Structure 1
Amino acid sequence: MFGYPIETVYLFTLVISGSLTFLYILLSDVLDGIFDAFDHPLLSPQLFLSFFTVLSATGYLLERYTAAASYFIGLISAGVALIVVLLLHFFVFVPLRSAESSLNYAQEDLEGCKAKVIITVPADGFGEILIQRASGAISKPAKSLKNEEIPLEAEVIVVSMENGVAVVAKRDPYYIS
């Protein structure tokens, strides 16, 4: 192919696709903005680069260590690459994409949450609360709704969020929720 043995073509493709993959890892934030027009998950650059890397690596190894026909090796390599890329997509990239979006929260999402006071909230000042969520714990500055002191370790409810500060009220211990 192109005047070179097919083994050499596979090796050059492996080196080029491996180098491009490394560059993509380094510049992924910038390149994601460029490739954002192609927002289909199966058309992502990391899947194309993975496909060519696995295809060329499998092709090179099979050409080097087996006596099978080149067209048969090409088909096997393409099949292996397709399977690996699909596994990568469904078991790595899709869960990462959904996990990335599930860690974000809006300030309004915290309203109505139960929290624990970790720094006493004075009557006319600010303390700090800790909100336990499925994605982790969030600490926020807090002030009292009724301008009353709320002691350390008390359970509170976030009534509202005002400029990143939680307005909290003491949680009624007799109310079951």
Structure 2
Amino acid sequence: MLEIYWGCFLFGVIFAAGTLLFGDVLHNAVSLSTEFSLEHLAWLQPMVIVGGITGFGGSGLLLARYTELTDPAVVIFSVCIAALLSVLVYFVYVKPMRHCENSSGFFITDLIGKTGEVIVLIPAGGFGEVLIRVGAGNTNQTAASYSKIELPAGTKIVVAEIREGVLYVYRNNKQSGGRAE
């Protein structure tokens, strides 16, 4: 049984070292596949699973060596400790960290459908500037009127489309439920 405990423990240590050194490369390779999404199984993160395996191996080694428990009892206690460690890793580290990363980077195409505000007058046939909230920050973008009408500063807008890096916007008229102009 000691070989199994050592194997689980060493696997966890090697996995942790590999994640430390190559974690971003592996994450990017896996995230390229849009079909592979574990959002609905957030507790099934590699850190949680490997943490449990490592906890099983480490606790098995300690219990087998420093207690008078029988092999089946050591296995049962090791599984319980591994489950407890997995739950702790999930609730103390994985779950809080999942939503704490904010990025100021975005694709301009992500702005389609976003609401914002005109900060520099958009003339009927020209360009102005809009302010749009993106993630934890704001972005100022060059904009033109989608309907070829003047949009004064302070007007609430919605991004209709993007052509050649310019946002084409229309007035956000919530009362009519759609494009007012």
- The TM-score bracket by the shorter chain reads 0.5 to 0.7
Change (3 A) 1:34 1:54: farther
Aligned counterparts, 1:14-25, within 5 A: 14-24=9-19
Aligned to 2:160: 160
* In 2: Cα distance, 1:22 partner to 1:10 partner: 19
Change (3 A) 1:54 1:132: same
Q: How many residues align?
A: 160
Aligned to 2:59: 58
Aligned counterparts, 1:19-98, within 5 A: 19-24=14-19, 26=22, 27-29=25-27, 32=30, 41=41, 45-86=46-87, 88=89, 92=94, 96=98
Unaligned residue ranges in structure 1 (runs of 5+): none
* In 2: Cα distance, 1:58 partner to 1:141 partner: 60
What code does the residue aligned with 1:155 have? T
Change (3 A) 1:147 1:30: closer
Aligned counterparts, 1:122-133, within 5 A: 122-123=122-123, 124-132=125-133
User: Partner of 1:168: helix, strand, or coil?
Assistant: strand
Matched, 1:109 2:118: no
What code does the residue aligned with 1:144 have? S
Change (3 A) 1:127 1:137: farther
* In 2: Cα distance, 1:35 partner to 1:70 partner: 43
Tell me the TM-score normalised to structure 1 length: 0.59
Change (3 A) 1:49 1:106: same
Aligned to 1:143: 144
**RMSD over aligned Cα, in angstroms?**
4.5
Unaligned residue ranges in structure 2 (runs of 5+): none
* In 1: Cα distance, 2:118 partner to 2:176 partner: 19
Q: Deviations over 1:74-99 (max 9, x none)?
A: 211112213433565578369939x9
Q: Deviations over 1:39-84 (max 9, x none)?
A: 6747765444222111112223333443333331221111221343
Percent of paired sites with the same residue: 22
Structure 1 residue 14 displacement after superposition: 1.6
* In 1: Cα distance, 2:32 partner to 2:62 partner: 34
